[in-house]
């Protein structure tokens, strides 16, 4: 496929920078979001304004979706005015949200009946990775479609791995979330212990972040925790959604994920206090509550 026209649906924290990179790479884009003002920045960059998911698919050869949750993907793809009604045989859907693998398989099956292959391509790397075009992309779906779409994925991603049939990309993303949340909690506990002990938190981050415990999460979220900057790159509400999906996957496999379950409950305690719209770095507030300390530099 030589630079096909692309429809892009969902222009939030991730979608906006991902779509921007595709425009910069010379792709012709038609963009859509249910929140009208989110479309403006891309129209200013030269993308065409879409008015529905159906119209976006109708005008494009490939459609990309990145919306919050499973019901949003079902609405955007299968609902009234959805992608399925605008996509004709040979169209491709690259679905990049983090959703339930089972829902992804159902959406892929409905599209396949119309001769429209789907790739599940959830991502990791957050808004910084989206801006840099270095996201990790975990793909599932027909291998020939994956190979065909690789040049598009390479504009948005650095590490791009195909796992197998539809659903396997979503499952790989759930594995990724296990590592992410436990690491965030590790940073929260490290800084809480240091705060309670009266250590200089910036020095702790500097030295711990240069040793064996160094991680991208510590590098990215540690300073924000110390500055009490809880603006969302990835909202706690979305993280909680991911952990619901992880728990369902573990239930299906009848396996324990003890550390992940603990972090899930801590995130839920923050949601119950109305803090779900804060970024995941705000998990440190749960530790502050438990340990009666203030993580601040
Ligand atoms: P977001 O809430 O910032 O953006 C989602 C966008 O989708 C919003 O602009 C919303 O208006 C739009 N939308 C919802 N339903 C729609 C529909 N039916 N049609 C058109 N637009 C619709 O969310 P985000 O942070 O960009 O995350 C998007 C997805 O990517 C989620 O599944 C999330 O779990 C995943 N993800 C997020 C991050 C991150 O760091 N933010 C990282 C990796 C993966």
How many independent structural domains does the chain possess?
A: 2
Query: Which pLDDT belongs to residue 2?
Result: 78
User: What pTM was computed for the model?
Assistant: 0.96
Q: Which structural domain, as residue segments, surrounds residue 256?
A: 172-291
The residue annotated as part of the active site, out of 3, 38, 59, 173, is: 173
CB 157 within 8 A of CB 130: no
Look at residue 1 and tell me whether its pLDDT is greater than 70.
Answer: no
Asked if 29 and 154 sit in the same domain, the reply is yes
Q: Is residue 297 part of a domain?
A: no
What would the mean pLDDT of 263-274 be, rounded to a whole number?
98
Encode pLDDT of 148-166 as tens digits. Answer: 999 999 999 999 999 999 9
Distance 10 CA to ligand 1 centre (A): 6
Encode pLDDT of 52-93 as tens digits. Answer: 999 999 999 999 999 999 999 999 999 999 999 999 999 999
Contacts of 239 (CB under 8 A, 6+ apart): 177, 181, 267, 280
Query: Ligand 1, closest atom to CA 76?
Result: 18
Q: If 0-12 CB within 10 Å is exposed, 13-18 middle and 19+ buried, where does residue 198 land?
A: exposed
Encode pLDDT of 189-199 as tens digits. Answer: 999 999 999 99
Reported residue count of the chain is 297
Look at residue 43 and tell me whether its pLDDT is greater than 70.
Answer: yes
CB 29 within 8 A of CB 63: no
257-260 long-range Cβ contacts below 8 angstroms, 24+ apart: 257/178, 259/182, 259/185, 260/178, 260/181, 260/182
Among protein residues, the one whose CA lies closest to atom 1 of ligand 1: 12
From start to end of the chain, where are the E strands? 6-9, 29-32, 48-49, 62-65, 92-95, 118-120, 123-124, 135-140, 157-164
Asked if 70 and 215 sit in the same domain, the reply is no
Q: Is residue 22 part of a domain?
A: yes
What DSSP state is assigned to residue 47? Answer: P
Look at residue 181 and tell me whether its pLDDT is greater than 90.
Answer: yes
Instruction: Measure Cα distances from 16 to 6, 44, 93, 188 in Å.
Output: 14, 12, 18, 29
What would the mean pLDDT of 19-32 be, rounded to a whole number?
98
Asked if 225 and 151 sit in the same domain, the reply is no
Query: Which pLDDT belongs to residue 78?
Result: 98
CB within 6 Å of ligand 1 — which residues?
A: 9-15, 32-35, 38, 53, 66-68, 72, 75-76, 97-98, 123-124, 126-127, 233-234, 238, 242
Q: If 0-12 CB within 10 Å is exposed, 13-18 middle and 19+ buried, where does residue 82 land?
A: buried
Of the residues 114, 146, 165, the one at which a domain ends: 165
Mean pLDDT of the chain: 98
Q: Is residue 103 part of a domain?
A: yes
Query: Ligand 1, closest atom to CA 79?
Result: 18
**89 catalytic, yes or no?**
no
Asked if 30 and 157 sit in the same domain, the reply is yes
Q: Which of 14, 33, 184 to mutate to test the pocket of ligand 1 (most atoms within 8 A of CB)?
A: 14
Asked if 143 and 188 sit in the same domain, the reply is no
Distance 280 CA to ligand 1 centre (A): 15
Q: How confident is the model at residue 178 (pLDDT cuts 50, 70, 90)?
A: very high
Asked if 147 and 122 sit in the same domain, the reply is yes
Asked if 186 and 133 sit in the same domain, the reply is no
CB 165 within 8 A of CB 102: no
Distance 197 CA to ligand 1 centre (A): 39
Q: Is residue 1 part of a domain?
A: no
CB 9 within 8 A of CB 53: yes
- Please give the backbone phi and psi of residue 29, each rounded to the nearest 5 degrees, phi first: -115, 140
Encode pLDDT of 124-134 as tens digits. Answer: 999 999 999 99
How would you classify the pairing of strands 6-9 and 29-32?
Answer: parallel
Q: What's the CA gap between 241 and 291, in Å, rounded?
A: 26
């Amino acid at each position: 496929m030589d630079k096909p026209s692309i429809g892009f649906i969902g222009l939030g924290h991730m979608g906006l920078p991902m779509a921007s990179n595709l425009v910069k790479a010379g792709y012709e884009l038609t963009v859509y979001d249910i929140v009208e003002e989110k479309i403006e920045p891309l129209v200013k960059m030269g993308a065409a304004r879409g008015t529905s998911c159906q119209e976006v698919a109708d005008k494009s050869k490939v459609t990309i979706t990145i919306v919050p949750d499973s019901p949003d993907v079902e609405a955007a793809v299968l609902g009234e005015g959805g992608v399925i009604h605008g996509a004709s045989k040979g169209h491709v859907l690259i679905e990049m949200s983090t959703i339930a693998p089972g829902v992804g398989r159902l959406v892929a099956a409905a599209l396949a009946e119309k001769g429209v292959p789907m790739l599940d391509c959830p991502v990791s790397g957050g808004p910084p990775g989206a801006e840099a075009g270095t996201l990790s992309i975990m793909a599932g779906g027909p291998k020939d479609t994956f190979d065909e779409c690789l040049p598009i994925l390479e504009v948005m991603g650095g590490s791009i791995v195909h796992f197998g049939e539809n659903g396997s990309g979503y499952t790989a993303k759930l594995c990724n979330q296990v590592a992410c949340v436990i690491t965030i909690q590790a940073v929260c506990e490290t800084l809480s212990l240091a705060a309670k002990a009266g250590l200089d938190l910036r020095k702790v981050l500097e030295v711990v972040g240069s040793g064996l415990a160094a991680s991208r999460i510590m590098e990215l979220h540690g300073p924000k925790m110390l500055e009490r900057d809880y603006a969302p790159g990835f909202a706690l509400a979305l993280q909680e959604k991911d952990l619901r999906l992880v728990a369902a996957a573990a239930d299906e496999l009848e396996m324990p994920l003890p550390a992940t379950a603990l972090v899930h409950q801590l995130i839920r305690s923050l949601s119950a206090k109305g803090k779900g719209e804060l970024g995941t770095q705000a998990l440190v507030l749960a530790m502050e509550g438990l340990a009666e300390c203030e993580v601040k530099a």
